[in-house]
Amino acid sequence: MYYLLAVICGSLVASMISINGGLTDFYGTYMATVIIHFVGLIFITIYLKLKGEAFLPKEHLPFYYFLGGAIGVGTTVFNNIAIGSIGISAILALSLLGQSVTSIVIDHFGLLGMPTERFNKKKLIGLGFVLIGIIVIISS
């Protein structure tokens, strides 16, 4: 059951990018990004209220703890720019490659407070397959 939910979750991400593409067609990249965050905020606020969870952190936190949302704006803007010129499957495959390389770099150097895990060169084979797959997707 949970395995199926994970697949559904992945397909929701693909649908979301497609739907946000429709919004971008109508309003433009940056207005669409504002609307997406506005709608998301309404729903998370309702959910938080229903759950009765606290809105404020228990302790004072430095500002960089809150930068996730700022970086996330980049993700939405980038997806909205790409949609229309390449397909959803290409966007997602490229994004997954970007995620994988970023994680490898973060782990290798132990950045952002993560434990260090050196890069295993065997992974280049896997990344090679991913790259071939992306080229096939984009050119088909």
Partner 1 sequence: MLVAIIVSLLSGFTLVTARVANAKLAEKTSALTSTFYNYVVGLLLSIVVLGLLGHSELPITSISTNVWIYTGGVISVFVVFIQSAVAPKIPTFYMTLLLFVGQLFAGVIIDSIMAHKFSVGQVIGGLFVLLGFTLNLMIDKKASS
Query: In this structure, what token pair is assigned to residue 12?
Result: 């929701």
User: Rule CB under 8 A: is residue 19 a binding residue for partner 1?
Assistant: yes
Least Å distance, CB 116 to partner 1, is: 12
Count, residues near partner 1 per rule CB under 8 A? 110
Least Å distance, CB 118 to partner 1, is: 10
For residue 126, what are the contacts with CB-CB under 8 A and spacing of at least 6? none
Least Å distance, CB 137 to partner 1, is: 3
Please, is 76 exposed, middle or buried when counting C-beta atoms within 10 Å of its C-beta (0-12, 13-18, 19+)? buried
User: Rule CB under 8 A: is residue 12 a binding residue for partner 1?
Assistant: yes
Secondary structure of residue 67 in the 3-state scheme = coil
- Tell which positions 44-103 bind partner 1, by CB under 8 A: 44-45, 47-48, 51, 53-55, 57-59, 61, 64-79, 81-82, 85-103
Decide: 126 and 114 in contact? Cβ < 8 Å. Answer: no
